[in-house]
């Protein structure tokens, strides 16, 4: 390693400060998707509404996030990454304040939609902005730290939510976002650079937006409904969503302008293989984080806070994995890192297929530690691979595409395992642990599909593809 390489890859205090500030936004958005789930029963009691109606508080947020992500690339290109990120934080904070002031279920759901629109923009715009500021030679080391945040949110969400409700009322589930968001706004205005917009004159893809965002929302809505209970309306929503997305793909291939997300992008190596790996990873990771807490609370009778404590080893593994990846990401082939990570995820999932034998909590904790370590070795190398090889002018749209696929993968995976779990519960009757064990075999299959995609990733380290002067 040459001295020039050391200088090119050195991460100074100002860059670390920028990364920390941008991580605050991603942390808020990721955590808010899970922290509120702990308060569903409390909200149902507060508003005198059935739990099935209160679930719209979480579903509305998810649908808004999915609808917002596709526009993140155009907004960053048109108005600049920092300005878009600041606006997203402001919208998220405003939505959080309105959630805390809600007086009814409809007002809370409406506020959650506003909050989700801001939250959906934060991860992709933050990642793209960080990649532009860092440059291709330092992106990998920073993304390995930023990428651990979504892995921590399913762990910290129940802990944070349970802790808040233990000492305060439900409104503080949302008020906790205000000091974090305001601090992020003040710090970003002072310390985060503002790269100029890259496509100020590119018109907004109205037809694409009409097809894609509502299509994704319909698909997610239908899958969520179908996961709770199979019905004709749920199936109709899924089919309508798929039809609109197919229409978007046709539009994206034929348009002479710039689509919200260019379908042709996925035909160019390495984005196609990277996208499929992230899609399957989202299904495997979030599918497990839906199943396991549900089993521990409904099957073993643990509280949400106790469940969060038992899930903590996954967060510890994710932090350890990110620190390891941060040191070796530029000099290690992405394929080797990702396949190793997937092997650890599969290994850590295997014990959950034996829930019928009532494994001790120590085994569950150890499996989660291994899963967290493996998951941290997957997403960061995949994102770094794309960010280090794509032109800076296309960073924002590529970031939006990757985040969208990860979100869709997680949602589709969660809905799929919910449907499978319901069918296995019907088949197993009172043997609940066996029904969960059966479902975890499908989660293993998601991991194996991700492995097939990852086998097509490049076998040379990212440093080999940097410009000569930046190595």
pLDDT digits 0-9 by tens, 44-64 = 888 888 766 787 888 888 888
Instruction: Give the Cα separation of 293 and 306 in Å (integer).
Output: 10
More confident residue, 32 or 350: 350
SS3 of residue 249 by DSSP: helix
Instruction: Give the Cα separation of 378 and 380 in Å (integer).
Output: 6
pLDDT of 96 > 90? The answer is: yes
Instruction: Give the Cα separation of 59 and 63 in Å (integer).
Output: 6
Amino acid 9: pLDDT = 60
pLDDT of 364 > 90? The answer is: yes
SS3 of residue 260 by DSSP: coil
pLDDT band at 4 (very low <50, low <70, confident <90, very high): very low
Of the ranges 3-17, 288-302, 327-341, the best mean pLDDT one: 327-341
pLDDT in tens, 175-215: 999 999 999 999 999 988 888 777 667 788 889 888 988 88
pLDDT band at 85 (very low <50, low <70, confident <90, very high): very high
| Portion of the chain with pLDDT greater than 90, in percent | 22
More confident residue, 83 or 409: 83
More confident residue, 442 or 471: 442
Q: Write down the pTM of the prediction.
A: 0.81
Instruction: Give the Cα separation of 354 and 375 in Å (integer).
Output: 21
Beta carbons within 8 Å of 393's beta carbon, 6+ residues apart:
77, 198, 199
Among left, alpha and beta (phi > 0; psi -120 to 50; other), residue 429 is left
Instruction: Give the Cα separation of 54 and 151 in Å (integer).
Output: 26
Average per-residue pLDDT in the chain? 83
SS3 of residue 175 by DSSP: helix
Q: Which helix (H) or strand (E) covers residue 339, if one does? A: helix 334-349
Q: Residue written as tokens 């190596």?
A: 269
Nearest to 308 by CA among 162, 175, 180, 429: 162
Please check whether residue 158 is in contact with residue 426, taking contact to mean a CB–CB distance below 8 angstroms. no
Of the ranges 115-119, 203-207, 302-306, 319-323, the best mean pLDDT one: 115-119
Beta carbons within 8 Å of 323's beta carbon, 6+ residues apart:
none
Please check whether residue 310 is in contact with residue 363, taking contact to mean a CB–CB distance below 8 angstroms. no
CA 309 to each of CA 42, 185, 306, 313: distance values in angstroms, whole numbers, following the listed order: 20, 31, 5, 8
SS3 of residue 193 by DSSP: coil
pLDDT of 363 > 50? The answer is: yes
| Portion of the chain with pLDDT greater than 70, in percent | 92
Q: Residue written as tokens 């479902």?
A: 439
Amino acid 469: pLDDT = 45
Amino acid 403: pLDDT = 78
pLDDT of 117 > 60? The answer is: yes
pLDDT of 19 > 80? The answer is: yes
pLDDT band at 87 (very low <50, low <70, confident <90, very high): very high
Please check whether residue 463 is in contact with residue 139, taking contact to mean a CB–CB distance below 8 angstroms. no
Beta carbons within 8 Å of 351's beta carbon, 6+ residues apart:
359, 363, 364, 366, 367
pLDDT of 467 > 70? The answer is: no
pLDDT band at 234 (very low <50, low <70, confident <90, very high): confident
pLDDT of 349 > 80? The answer is: yes
Amino acid 464: pLDDT = 58
Amino acid 228: pLDDT = 66
pLDDT of 2 > 60? The answer is: no
pLDDT average, residue stretch 389-401: 75
Cis previous bond, 270, omega within 30: yes
pLDDT band at 110 (very low <50, low <70, confident <90, very high): very high
pLDDT in tens, 272-310: 777 777 777 777 777 787 788 778 877 777 776 787 788
400's tokens: 């939006």
Instruction: Give the Cα separation of 383 and 317 in Å (integer).
Output: 20
Q: Annotate 230-247 with b (16+ C-beta within 10 A) or e (fewer).
A: eeeebeebbebbeebbeb
pLDDT in tens, 65-74: 888 888 888 8
The alpha carbon dihedral of 358, 360, 361, 362 has a sign of negative
Nearest to 404 by CA among 151, 204, 124, 146: 124
CA 154 to each of CA 84, 198, 207: distance values in angstroms, whole numbers, following the listed order: 26, 35, 35
Amino acid 165: pLDDT = 82
97's tokens: 């304040």
pLDDT of 463 > 80? The answer is: no
Instruction: Give the Cα separation of 117 and 445 in Å (integer).
Output: 32
């Amino acid at each position: 390693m040459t001295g020039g390489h050391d200088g090119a890859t050195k991460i100074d205090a100002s860059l670390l400060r920028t990364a920390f500030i941008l991580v605050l936004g991603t942390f808020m958005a990721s955590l808010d998707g899970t922290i509120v789930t702990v308060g569903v029963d409390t909200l149902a009691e507060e508003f005198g509404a059935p739990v099935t109606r209160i679930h719209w508080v979480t579903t509305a947020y998810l649908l808004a996030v999915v609808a917002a992500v596709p526009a993140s690339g155009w907004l960053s290109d048109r108005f600049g990454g920092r300005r878009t990120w600041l606006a997203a934080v402001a919208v998220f904070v405003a939505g959080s304040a309105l959630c805390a002031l809600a007086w009814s279920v409809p007002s809370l759901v409406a506020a959650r939609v506003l909050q989700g629109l801001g939250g959906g923009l934060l991860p992709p715009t933050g990642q793209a902005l960080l990649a532009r500021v860092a440059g291709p030679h330092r992106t990998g080391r920073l993304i390995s730290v930023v990428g651990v945040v979504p892995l921590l949110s399913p762990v910290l969400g129940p802990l944070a939510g349970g802790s808040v409700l233990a000492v305060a009322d439900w409104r503080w589930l949302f008020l906790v976002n205000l000091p974090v968001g305001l601090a992020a706004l003040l710090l970003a205005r002072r310390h985060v650079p503002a790269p100029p917009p890259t496509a100020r004159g590119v018109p907004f893809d109205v037809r694409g937006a009409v097809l894609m965002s509502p299509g994704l929302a319909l698909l997610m809505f239908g899958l969520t409904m179908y996961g709770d209970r199979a019905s004709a309306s749920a199936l109709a929503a899924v089919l309508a969503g798929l039809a609109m997305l197919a229409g978007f793909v046709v539009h994206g291939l034929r348009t002479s302008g710039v689509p919200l997300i260019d379908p042709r992008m996925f035909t160019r190596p390495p984005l196609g293989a990277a996208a499929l790996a992230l899609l399957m990873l989202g299904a495997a990771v979030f599918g497990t984080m839906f199943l396991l807490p549900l089993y521990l609370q409904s099957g073993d009778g643990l509280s949400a806070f106790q469940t969060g404590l038992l899930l903590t080893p996954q967060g510890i593994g994710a932090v350890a994995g990110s620190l390891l990846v941060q040191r070796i990401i530029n000099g290690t082939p992405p394929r080797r890192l990702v396949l190793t990570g997937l092997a650890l995820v599969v290994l850590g999932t295997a014990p959950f297929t034996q829930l019928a034998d009532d494994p001790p909590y120590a085994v569950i904790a150890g499996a989660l530690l291994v899963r967290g370590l493996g998951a941290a070795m997957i997403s960061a190398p995949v994102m770094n691979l794309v960010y280090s090889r794509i032109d800076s002018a296309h960073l924002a749209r590529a970031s939006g595409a990757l985040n969208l696929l990860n979100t869709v993968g997680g949602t589709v995976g969660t809905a799929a395992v919910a449907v499978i779990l319901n069918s296995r519960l019907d088949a197993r009757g009172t043997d609940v642990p066996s029904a969960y064990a059966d479902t975890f075999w499908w989660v293993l299959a998601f991991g194996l599909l991700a492995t097939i995609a990852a086998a097509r990733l490049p076998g040379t380290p990212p440093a080999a593809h940097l410009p000569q002067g930046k190595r």
